[in-house]
Structure 1
Amino acid sequence: MTVSLATVAAAFAANPILLLIIVLCLGATMVNGATDAPNAIATVVGTKAMAPTPAIIMAAICNFIGMVGITAVSTAVASTIFGMVDFGGDTHAALVALAAAMVAIIVWGVAAWAFGIPTSQSHSLIAGITGAAIALQGGLGGVNPDQWIKVVYGLVVSTGLGFGTGWLFTRLIKMTCSQMHRRRATKAFDWMQIAAGAGVAILHGAQDGQKFLSLCMLAVMLGIYGTTEMSAFPLWMVVLVSLTMSLGTAVGGRKIIKSVGMNMVRMETYQGFAACLAACFCIALATFTGIPVSTTHTKTTAIMGVGAEKSMRNVKWDLAGTMVLTWVLTFPGCGLIAYVFTYIFLLVL
């Protein structure tokens, strides 16, 4: 079954909550573009391989390419998010809970962006829909553990594997290139880092874009067909979500770039390349296996691994600790906001 744009547009008049959810979902997607996508090119800017403005433009374009291109090949991440929670049989209440989850995601993401903290919008999304489902179902009956366990796998991939591959790739590059002329090597790594940064941005578009795409589709299936059965993603919806994410990247990327690419670890170009390469490896592995991984976590821990390879003191652990604390607080914090908003929205909508 293919959902047409005309069918969705016609449904807005009969079901205003559906329109509200789509608008909120696109708002959350834009916040994701502003807070998560800049991590892809943070090291490219931090090592001065590219200036901020062209790097952000590159990330925005690559987000679009990744979202449209990889979604055409694999929708594994979207399937995981789609089946992670159960909003129950009452269609109106389910749509209200989904709207509450979207508001919570936006509130949490905007607060993080305002303080320049690279919180994970992926985890905000998961926490938001989980908190809303728990509120609606009155307990954990609305959570699908078979899909939710993939969040734990994602934490392992983004944290452990991200740090480990960042450290390993840096060590391998140093061993391989130890006899190269330094100036020539630096110029080569500038271009290699730009290419790898573009790769991270493409994979971010696929990984995070599919998460918000799945919520748009869930709202459409509930609002029009009264079911949570997943349908094929129409091209118009894929393009709309990807353009929204790219716009968010273009508008709000500078604060996060400064926190991740400049403040946490002082890097050379080969180290920036190693961090991007590690992030590409981890995010690609997760994307094609349906594991919802955080681009923010993966890139940040890869940078930590790169810095730790030279010296543990080379990493600003106080800043890293602040980021980790934010990540830890995201699940209960954003989940609680969604939980409370669900009760409020059910009273007024």
Structure 2
Amino acid sequence: MTDTAATPRKQTLDKDLDKLVHVEEATSTVARGLVAPGLGLLFLALAAIFAATYVAGEPGAIIIIAAAAIGAYMALNIGANDVANNVGPAVGAKAMSLGGALLIAAVFESAGALIAGGEVVGTISKGIIDPAAVGTPEAFIRAMMAALISSALWINLATWIGAPVSTTHSVVGGVVGAGIAAAGFASVDWPTMMQIAASWVVSPVIGGVVAALFLAFIKTAIIYQDDKISAARRWVPLLIAVMAGAFATYLTTKGLSRVITISGLGTALVGLAFFAVTWVFAHILVRRQSEGLENRNQSLRRLFKLPLVISAALLSFAHGANDVANAVGPLAAIVFTANESTVNATVVIPFWVMVIGAAGISLGLVLFGPKLIRMVGEQITKLNPMRAFCVALSAAITVIIASALGLPISSTHTAVGAIFGVGFFREWYTAHSKRRRAYLERKGVEFRKNGGVSPEDEEELELQNTSREEIARRKLVRRVHVRTIVAAWVTTVPAAALLSAGIYLVLDLMV
């Protein structure tokens, strides 16, 4: 009787203990989800305290401290959203781990911001509104505050839905909305706005076309050659040299333009010099790396991994040098206006403001960046080192082309457009390339003769026997992500403008 009576109590105790375990597991899961937001809030508080040590006792100190916290929030969102374009392709191509990408991007983003971020920035974001039209310094501060809050909120929303958007366009929309609310439509430079709107189309189209052309060259000259290794020894050094020359030119014109001033001819000579030197050394490196490699696509991927890692670091440096102004430009305007009680189109950025921007971008990347990194690198289309190399190279070359033509450009639209271009080109090439089908027919003969083939070629042979209708159905680019991203691009400026106008009106009523 005793044993019979004890058994139910034991089972009840086990159930209660199981419930406690489940509650602990659920609590732990929820707690892990709150770590990143908690650290983000801590950073905002530290940014406000950091600002207070510099502006305590100065005119408008309270406003500056509040603006510093909002600027830190903006910087966190830029790190969470925009940096993914620089390292996402390398992560998706398995050229580096997510942790390694976060470390490299954080270091080079901070270095670019602090070394080459510059001391002077246009606070009205590309001159799209007339500072004199805004009116009093107090109204101007409210306009900049509204622009900062609205652009940060919009980027936060875009990150949450998984859409990489242009932080520059977000700030532009915020400034436009606040400017209209403060001084009417006449305060906006509409021709400049039309140029910015044109970049919605120009940036991704040029980026996609350039990336597709490079991928077409790699497929034709290397991948679908019978002797892949010999073809790689001939052409990969040239591609690496083109990348080196492009990035040298890109960094000279964009990333280091505030540190040193070089003429157009000088910039071209720098690019050519890096191209020539890299070509020589790349020949030696590629020959050493290719020794003993099997004649298969997997071997080719190894040759592109190191250049891809270097390109991710350089893109991060250039991004930090250029886009830190998106986080701290309006904040610098508020600091200057509050201290001087006057409005100016360009101001000197205090070093402490740059530190907040650089630290915020890096921390936002580490805390919230993985989601967009995976989106850009893995979920739009499947990338390998060769495709990701084309994306990185396209990003640098497109900026150079656009700068030479005087066209406005978005690094985000360019990089994501390049990924679209690679994916859509693969869809077309898979269905229509006669060279590819001839190559696979030869591989089919080898398969039947030797009784074996590499996994990559086996996948290609399977695709060869697939009808064009089935290939079209499989789609190598996920359309749902394309629609989400394009919709976010189109709505960024008007959404940020409407939000900013509303915030300005609220701030105006509170005064």
2:489 corresponds in structure 1 to 327
Q: Which has the larger radius of gyration?
A: 2
Distance 1:149 1:216 in 2: 26
User: Structure 1 residue 101: deviation in Å?
Assistant: 1.6
Aligned match for 1:240, one of 331, 356, 363: 356
Q: Which amino acid aligns with 2:164?
A: P
Is 2:287 the partner of 1:211? no
Query: 2:200 matched to which residue of 1?
Result: 155
- State the Cα distance separating 1:187 from its structure 2 match: 0.8
Distance 2:402 2:58 in 1: 35
Query: C-alpha separation between the residues in 2 aligned to 1:206 and 1:289?
Result: 22
Partner of 2:385: 269
Task: Please tell me whether the aligned partners of residues 33 and 247 of structure 1 are also in contact (alpha carbons under 8 angstroms).
Answer: yes
Q: How does 1:112-151 map to 2 (within 5 A)?
A: 112-137=158-183, 139-145=184-190, 147-151=192-196
Q: Which runs of 5+ in 2 are unaligned?
A: 1-50, 230-294, 429-474
Equivalences for 1:166-315 in 2 at 5 Å?
166-178=211-223, 179-180=228-229, 181=295, 182-225=297-340, 226-283=342-399, 293-312=409-428, 313-315=475-477
Q: Say if 1:231 and 1:95 are closer, same or farther in 2 by CA, change over 3 A.
A: closer
2:347 aligned counterpart, secondary structure: coil
Measured in 2, the distance between the counterparts of 1:164 and 1:71 equals 30
Shift of 1:216: 2.4
Contact 1:117–1:323, Cα closer than 8 Å, also in 2: yes
* Secondary structure, counterpart of 1:231 in structure 2: strand
Q: Does 2:232 match 1:70?
A: no
Q: Indicate the percent of aligned positions where both proteins have the same amino acid.
A: 26
CA distance, structure 1, for counterparts of residue 65 and residue 404 of structure 2: 31
Cα separation, partners in 2 of 1:336 and 1:79, compared to 1, 3 Å: closer
Higher relative contact order (CA 8 A, sep 6+): 1
2:107 matches 1:91: no
**What secondary structure does 1:95 align onto?**
helix
Judged with a 3 Å threshold, the aligned counterparts in structure 2 of structure 1 residues 251 and 292 are, in CA distance, closer, same or farther, namely farther
Rounded to whole Å, the distance in 2 between the matches of 1:79 and 1:101 is 11
Contact 2:148 2:330 in 1 (8 A): no
SS of residue matched to 1:204:
helix
Q: CA RMSD in A?
A: 2.7
Which secondary structure does the structure 2 equivalent of 1:177 belong to? helix
> Is contact 2:123–2:332 with CA below 8 Å preserved after alignment?
no
How much has 1:10 moved relative to structure 2?
A: 4.0
The Cα of 1:154 is off from its aligned counterpart by: 3.2
Count of paired positions: 342
**2:358 is paired with a residue of what secondary structure?**
helix
Please give the alpha-carbon distance, in whole angstroms, between the structure 2 residues aligned to 1:284 and 1:57: 27
User: 1:79 Cα deviation (Å)?
Assistant: 7.1
- Alpha-carbon distance between aligned partners in 2 of 1:103 and 1:208, rounded to the nearest angstrom: 17
**51-60 or 167-176, larger mean C-alpha shift:** 167-176
Q: In the alignment, residue 177 of structure 1 is paired with which amino acid?
A: I
CA distance in 1, matches of 2:194, 2:336: 25
Stretches of structure 1 lacking an aligned partner (at least 5 in a row): none
Secondary structure of residue in 2 paired with 1:81: coil
Q: CA–CA distance in 1 between the matches of 2:114 and 2:389? A: 25
Q: TM-score, normalised by structure 1?
A: 0.88
Q: Structure 2 counterpart of 1:106, which letter?
A: A
